[in-house]
Every structure is written in structure tokens, then in C-alpha cells.
Chain A
Amino acid sequence: MNSDIVDKLTTIVGIENISTREDVLLTYASSASMAKMPIKPGAVIRPKNVDEVKEILRIANAYKINVTVRSGGTSLQGEVIPHPDGLVIEMLRFNEITLFEDLRSVRVGAGVTYGELDKFLSQHGLWVPVTPESALGCTIAGNTAVNGAGPGSSLFGCTGDLILGLEVVLPISEVIQTGTEASPYAPGPFLRYAFGVDLTGLFIGSLGSLGVITSVSLKVFKRMEYFYYNTYGFETHEAAERFLIELKNWDVNAVFASIYEGPVLELFMEMLGDEYGIPPMEWPHRTVSMTIGRTREDMMQSDAVKANELCEELGGKILGIEELPKGEWDGRLWTFVRACYAHGWHWRTLYHHQTPMNSHRSVEEISKVMDKYGFLGHTAGFLTDHSSTNMYPHLYFDPVDSEDERKIVDAHDELAVTLFKTGAVPFKLAPFWKDKMDGTETYMALLEKLKNAIDPNDIMNKGVLGGI
């Protein structure tokens, strides 16, 4: 990066908080994403407040520097891979947490991780009940930008569903606050849909393309203390999928309900069975692993009875293996990240949502590409929000075998097209969905217009949000 520009940036944050060293730049060339080749930026800067971010973006605009905003560096679909000689803004110094107990909300700086927030809230008997699989490394702001989900989503929805407002530095260096906090007279965050248009929603899932999220305000809940764990086996996917819908219809408080194909569960248990204390076994065609959570014991027991009735009414079998859902739920801050890495392969993913009744279609499509290209992979999903299943396919490859990786890239491309045609929708509009979503041209055109209006010099994470 041009040394004059670096000097100007250094004036903003001080020499300790900017780097152009080769070794440092190399480490910002990649993230947890194995879906994109590393690209070295020209500089990395670590601001500590909104004014510094504003100044940084003013310079980036003046010199038309490509900007990539990054916090935990845990995103998996190439969201924070910089442009050559671009500027990475790392947000980890934004570490404030403010609790609004009476408003049942909390405001966190862009550098606060789920683990840090959980520790803070637990002292008050509270929690943010959705934890993404990368909860120990990723920040709430970063997860907002990718609209993540995870354990807790079966009841509370995606991360975005918990958000009451955002503070964002726009690419043109203006600061916007959304939700009730937009009012200087409001006592804090208590309603997202204040002032009509849902501007908060504009930035949720924006993958860092529309501005720099500097703080997130979100709902907090009384921490649940009563949990019931069980597993339910079904011999048809229809019965298992119907079970998920009936749980919702009957208000069974499933905080986390996963649906697994038998062989996929066997693969998972090869990796984590010992840790969970589950001996090798032949799993049914479909297994639903569920944790019911409640703040009151009587409600939890009532839900457990209803869930068991629903299973039997649908011809399912109550498996009684509580170690699986207990392991998933009690270890929710790290179980999934450990499961993703215990086996040694690298992998690409293609996160998407299906309706609960259609989740088997994702299993079928990934099985087809696995057969066609000859690689190991899987997909499983978990019930999310009102009527959706969050699917997370993994396509494994050997990182030292470039041929193997090439195969996965091709399979990945093909899968995006075929999955979309099953009715699946992406919730993280990662770049590899570009040109693979037939019939969304008008939607994408509007998104592009919005991006151009908000970011006239196109400096923010160019090419990432669905290729825009």
C-alpha cells in the first residue's frame, strides 16, 4: 500500500495498531473459510472507536481502497478474504458490553464474542440463547453480518431474529443507529421496528458490504435451567420431518432439534461418540436429536410428554439416547466446531435453508454429487425459527491434494445450482451463489442498486454479497 496512505492511516490509530509487515499481511489473507484462496491485503488496521472507523473510511474513499471488515476471522464462505493491496479493518478492540436489564437487552461492541457475552450475562441469570458453531471465536457483530444460527435457533430463530438495532459506519463515513436507539431520547434498545422501515435488517447478512457494524443491540432472556434430552428414530424421512413440524404446532420448546440421516450420524459418532459416551450402533433411517428447554420445570416435563406422544403417533421410536442431544446442547459453544475439525479433512460448505418437509432433498442432492465426483461429505440440519431447517453440507477434501480440492470446487458449484432448484434458499449470500439463483434477477438488481447508493465508490467488500 502506498506509504502516504499508510502514514495517514497511522495518524488515526497509532503505529501499534496498523501493520504492513509481510508476516502480518499473510495471516489476514485467509480466514476459517476453506472455500477461497488466500489474498494478501496491503495493510491491516485495528481501530478502537467509531471516530477512528469514520476517519479510516474517509481515507479509503478518498483513495478508492478496497476495504474488508473482519472481527473473529471465523466465517466459512470467503466473506473476509481481502482484495490485493486492500485494507483490512479488524474490529476486535470494540469490546464494550452494556446491559439494559429493564429493557431485556444488551449492547455489545463489534469485538465481543459469544463466549465473552455468555460469561457476562450468566452473572445476571441471563443469556442470548442462540450460539453459532463458531461461538468461541466469532463475534456477535460478525455473526450478524453473516446472519448465523446454531443451537437455540430451533426456538429463537437466527442471530438476526434477536437483533434490536445496530450502529453502523456507512462507507461514506456517516454513522447510523437503527432501532429505538436512533432516538436520542430512547432509554436504549427495546424495539427493532421503530421508525418504520427495518433498516436493521438491511445490514443483517450484508457480509460487510454495506458498512462497518460497530455495535449490536440484541434481546436477552432469562437463562433456562430445565432441560430434557432425547432422541427419536423414524424409518421414513416424511415421519421425521413431520415430527419437527408437529413440535412447532404444539409449542414444544425445542431449543435445539437436529435431524440426521443414519449414515451421517454414524460418521459423526465415529468422531464424537467416545466423547459423548455413545457406543457404536446402527442408527435409524432418520434420527431427531432434541433438547427441550424451559425456565420452569413443569413446562419442561409437559413438553417432554407431548414430544414423546407425537413421536409415537407418527410411528417413530423413542430412542432414549440422551447423551447425543445433551452433548450437542451442553457443549454448544464448541461441540460443532470440534466436530468440524476432529477428522482431519478440509471442507467447503454451502449453508442453506429448506422447509422441514423438504430437508431430505438436500440429503439427496449432496449424495448425488458425492457419487458423481467421488468424495466424502454429508449434510444434516436443525430446526430453525418458525418453519425452516438450517442445512450445513460439508464437502471434504485433502488439503495437500490439489486434484481433490479441484473436484470439490466443481461439486460445490454444481450443488449450488441443484440445491437452489429444490427450493432451498441461501441465508448467507456468499459469492459462490452468484449466477446460480434462477429467477432472482430483480431481487439481485435492487440489492446492487442499494449497494451502489450506500457505497458509491464501491469500496466495501466488493464482489462478496452474491457477487455484487
Chain B
Amino acid sequence: MTDIDLEDLREELLQCRRCGICRNAVYEAKGFDGICPIWRNTSGFEPSFMRGKIQIALALLDGTLERTSENAEAIYQCTLCGNCTQICGAEFHPAHVLETVRAVLEDIPNESRDRIAQGIQNMDNPYNEQLAMKRAWTADLEFEVPSAGRTLYFAGCTADLRSQEIAMNTARILKAAGENFFVMENEPCCGSVLLRTGKYDDAETNASKVAKIIESTGAERIVVSCAGCMKTLKNDFSEKFDIEIPEIVHIVEYAAKLIKEGRLNIKGYSEPVIVTYHDPCHIGRELDIYEAPREILKAIPGVVFVEMTPNRDAAICCGAGGGLRSYAPELSKKIAADRLSAVTRTGAKYLVSACPFCETNFKSGLDLVDSDIMTLDIVDLLASTKKE
């Protein structure tokens, strides 16, 4: 890693004075009800939460701890959700720093990280599927989706290949709004997971490629439905790589605006339906998008919106982020199940989120809990209640 100053990184890590409130702070008045999802869902030794991770990072960097997969487990066993940052009194961003540590420690073997990176490099997606499959969902729509236009819908690998309903429903919302949108024939991966897992150089190369492809389409605006794509394209491209791309909006911002302007006809439910919302870390803590999804839900007739505890900037992660779903799938699933218990306490029938990754992980988490909660993306709910 040529761009990372190791002395600066060490100084950042030493901002941690080991107070330990990043473990399980419960502070009702400020909305915190626990902090670290890893600590809550593992046996709970120190390396599970950020204080321990930072001590291990320092030791791995200065060589007092041998760079082995086992010793680096704590570094990768983290969703980078950033809830520790919210509570931290020191002036640094622990989750961002840990991401940088992963980049510096790229030489430590990590099979899931390398497999994902290879997939993105060779197939333009972390799932190792054919690039052509990414646009396959458009064939199931009741209308044609052009491959050129002014507004690019960048569906992202997970909606393209795993949660196609999200891609289809986002397209339906855009269509209903009369948006002149298109979907690329060769949509690349945004590279979010490369960055999160420490493949910094690969992410930079990928970002240049993505920017060039987007530029070649002539798109003036990009709409995304994935929180990870949003954070990567909007923040990381410019902040980390100095790469500029056209204006980018998340579908929740876009749809909330449509509703405010009266441009989306919502049928809603004839009977009250209790719905709660899970804040995805990438658009919540990272981008402060909290109100738009709530405005959407509250605008749907028949929806009784209830908040989960904790929520907004103190929300507990779904467990999928930071490469954890590939690195430790069972733990990732357990975290989702834990978060689902917060949904149960609200009495909600629907758990809605705004990230295909969250939704996919919650579906996995349902395997571990006895619950009739239905998990879906906000575009699924919105599209299903839209008047034709």
C-alpha cells in the first residue's frame, strides 16, 4: 500500500485510549442499546469489539504479533458498521481506520477476501457469475429497459444477481415517475467489498474502470438501490481516489421526493400493517440518510410505522457488511437473527430496509428465529402499493 502512511495510521490507532464503551454501551437517553454486533453474538472476548481489534491491529503492524490468519481474525471479524464511531469520544473513526488496517495487512491470507476480489476482477461481480446475467432481470419486466439514456440505474451486483425483485421494483418506480432511465449492458461492480476487505489497490483500479464505463454512457445522473454502492460511488470514489462521477442519488431519496411532489400514486393497504425500518449502515451512519425512507413509509396509506430500538445513527448492523457475510457466514446470520429480535419487540409484520445486502442477510437470519416477520426492501413495499 503505497498511499498509506504507517506512522499516521499508528497515530490514528493510538487515539483509542481503551475506554471500552465501544463494547456494549447502553445509553437510553442518547438512543444506544448496545454497540458491537460481533461482541453480542460471539463468546465475547476482547478481540470481538473495537478496543481489542485496535490493540491487535497495533501489534500486527509493529510485528509484536505474528501476521497469521488466526491472529488477524479480529481484524476481519467486523462489519465496519461504525456504531463504535458513534459512541467513541476520541477524534477518529475506528471503523474507517480498521478498513485501512486491512489494506495494510493485505499480505495476511484470507480466502474469502481473495475469492471475492478474483470474482470482481474476472467477472465484474463478487458472486463469480457471468456479466451478462446481471441484466437478466430486465427481461422479466412488463416494459423494455433501454441500455442508454440520461439517468443510469446502477442496480449493483446483489440486486442484479441475488435480489432481482429489488432491481425490478426500482425500475418500476423510475418508470412510474416517467424517468428516462437506462441500465447498462455491462454494469461493473462498484468495488465496495474490495475496499471493505482491504483490497485497496484493486478497488482503485476498479474505480477508474467504473468511472470510465459510466462516462462512456453519457449518463447525467445515477440512481442506486444499494446502500453499499451508494457509499462507494458517492463518498469513496471522490474521497479515496479523487474520481468524480455524475450526481448520484439513492432510490429512497428519489422516491421520497416523488411522493412529496405528488408524482407517485400510492394505493396502500386497506387494513393497517405494522412496518418497521432498519437503517443500513452505508446510507445511515455514513451518509445521514435517515428521514427519506421514513417519509416514504409514513406516506403509504395503511402503514403503521414503528421504530425499532436502537435506530438511526445508533442502529445495530444487519451483520452482512465489511465482508463478514463471506468471512464468517454463520456469525453474520446470527447477527441478523439478533437484529430480528428487535423487530419482534415492535410487533411489526414487515421489516423494511433499503439495501439488498441487509435484506438478503435478514432472510438468512430468519432461519434461526421462530418468526413470521416478512423482510423486504423498501422498493418492494413501495412498488407493491403503487397504483397502476
Contacts and interface: CB of A to CB of B under 8 A. Distances in A.
Interface of A: 16-17, 19, 21-24, 26-32, 34, 44, 46, 72-74, 90, 92-93, 113, 115-116, 118-119, 122, 134, 136-138, 330, 333-334, 337-342, 344, 346, 399-400
B26 A113 contact: yes
Contacts of A337: 19, 21, 89
13 contacts: A21-B70, A29-B55, A32-B18, A46-B43, A72-B20, A113-B25, A115-B25, A136-B26, A136-B87, A334-B21, A334-B27, A340-B89, A400-B11
A136 B59 contact: no
A119 B33 contact: yes
Contacts of B14: 346, 399-400
Contacts of B66: 22
Given A22-B66, A73-B20, A344 B91 contact: yes
B28 interface: yes
Contacts of A134: 19-21
B52 interface: yes
Contact size range, B: 35 or more
Contact of A32 (B10, B19, B71): B19
Given A74-B19, A136-B26, A30 B55 contact: yes
Nearest to A88: B46
A23 B56 contact: yes
Given A27-B47, A115-B28, 15 more contacts: A23-B74, A26-B59, A26-B64, A32-B18, A32-B20, A44-B46, A74-B20, A118-B28, A122-B28, A334-B87, A337-B89, A338-B89, A341-B89, A341-B90, A344-B91
Given A22-B71, A334-B27, A27 B17 contact: no
A330 B30 CA distance: 10
Contact of B25 (A28, A29, A92, A136): A136
A374 B149 CA distance: 66
A19 B42 CA distance: 13
A23 B47 contact: yes
Contacts of B15: 341, 344
Interface of B: 10-11, 14-15, 17-21, 23-30, 32-33, 43-47, 51-52, 55-56, 59, 64-66, 70-74, 87-91
B71 A73 contact: no
A402 to B, nearest CB: 13
A92 B44 contact: yes
Contacts of A90: 45
A93 B28 CA distance: 21
A41 to B, nearest CB: 11
A115 B26 contact: yes
Nearest to A134: B19
A137 B25 contact: yes
B122 to A, nearest CB: 33
Contact of A27 (B26, B46, B64, B87): B46
A90 B52 CA distance: 14
A340 B21 CA distance: 13
Tell which of B20, B32, B52 has the most Cβ of chain A within 10 Å: B20
Contact of A137 (B21, B44, B90): B21
Contact of B47 (A24, A32, A341): A24
A341 B25 contact: no
Contacts of B24: 113, 116
Contacts of B17: 32, 34, 340-341, 346
A22 B55 CA distance: 12
A19 B52 CA distance: 14
A400 B7 CA distance: 10
B270 to A, nearest CB: 36
A447 B25 CA distance: 35
Contacts of A46: 43-45
A32 B43 CA distance: 21
Q: Per DSSP, are chain B's interface residues mostly helix, strand or loop, or mixed? A: loop
Minimum-distance CB pairs A-B, first 8: A338-B89, A27-B46, A136-B25, A115-B26, A27-B52, A137-B20, A341-B89, A136-B21
Nearest to B39: A92
A248 to B, nearest CB: 28
Contacts of A342: 89-91
B303 to A, nearest CB: 28
Nearest to B75: A23
A225 to B, nearest CB: 14
A122 B26 CA distance: 12
Contact of A23 (B28, B33, B65): B65
A346 B43 CA distance: 30
A111 to B, nearest CB: 10
A319 B23 CA distance: 39
B89 A26 contact: no
B65 to A, nearest CB: 6
Contacts of A137: 19-21, 23, 25
A27 B45 contact: yes
A113 B29 CA distance: 15
Most chain B CB within a 10 A radius of its CB, from A26, A32, A399: A26
Contacts of B29: 330, 333
A447 to B, nearest CB: 29
Nearest to A19: B45
Nearest to B46: A27
Contacts of A27: 45-47, 51-52, 55-56
A134 B312 CA distance: 24
B55 A26 contact: yes
B19 to A, nearest CB: 5
A342 B64 CA distance: 28
Contacts of A344: 15, 90-91
A289 to B, nearest CB: 19
A23 B91 contact: no
Contacts of A136: 21, 25-27, 32, 87
Given A23-B71, A342-B90, A115 B19 contact: no
Nearest to B13: A399
A72 B29 CA distance: 21
Contacts of B33: 119
Nearest to B30: A334
Given A119-B28, A122-B28, A24 B45 contact: yes
Contacts of B72: 23
Contacts of A115: 25-28, 32
Contacts of A34: 17-18
A451 B280 CA distance: 53
B27 A333 contact: yes
Name the residue among A44, A119, A134 with the largest chain B CB count within 10 angstroms: A119
A30 B29 CA distance: 30
A32 B25 CA distance: 15
A135 to B, nearest CB: 8
A74 B89 CA distance: 14
A19 B46 CA distance: 11
A92 B72 CA distance: 24
B71 A31 contact: no
A96 B118 CA distance: 48
Contact of B70 (A23, A32, A346): A23
Contacts of B51: 27, 73
A24 B46 contact: yes
Nearest to B11: A400
Most chain B CB within a 10 A radius of its CB, from A44, A46, A116, A137: A137
Contacts of B26: 113, 115-116, 118-119, 136
B18 A30 contact: yes
Contacts of B20: 32, 72-74, 134, 137-138
A143 to B, nearest CB: 13
Contacts of A330: 29
Contacts of B64: 26
